[in-house]
Each structure stands twice: as structure tokens, then as C-alpha cells.
Amino acid sequence: MRLDAGDAEVDWGLVERARQLAGLKGYVTNLAESTMDGAAVVAAYQGWEPNTSETGCDLM
């Protein structure tokens, strides 16, 4: 939604982009691609869950 001088309108381009990206998952690493390629990063993350009891995070 965009608000301009009191007028509200839906940004349909942004809505369509969100629909196209729905369900995509991304992984972030600081390893060089020569150390571990994308497929290896995804394989390493599959099945991994953070241990929230040690971090005190209750968002999971």
C-alpha cells in the first residue's frame, strides 16, 4: 500500500512480485564459492534447526 498526500493505493507490481517469490528460500554463507558451492550450502542447511534453548530466542 502506498500513501501519497492522504490517498491510499495498492502497489500491484509489488503484490505480483511477492506472489512470484512466495515459497522461495534463500541461504546465506560467508564461505567462498571455491570452498563450498551453492548445492553444498543447501545440503548443509537441510534439516538444520537452531537451538533456541541456548540463545533464549523464542521466535522459532
Tell whether 32 is covered by a domain.
yes
pLDDT at 13: 92
CA angle 23, 42, 34 (to 5 degrees): 135
| Whole-Å CA distances, 60 to 13, 44, 50, 53 | 31, 19, 8, 10
Q: Per the structure, how many domains does the chain have?
A: 1
Tell whether 55 is covered by a domain.
no
Residue 25 sits in which domain range? 2-46
pTM score, whole prediction: 0.41
End-to-end CA distance of the chain: 28
Q: pLDDT for 1-59, tens place per residue?
A: 666 677 788 889 999 999 998 988 788 888 898 999 988 888 888 877 776 665 555 55
- Scan for cell 500500500, then name that residue: 1
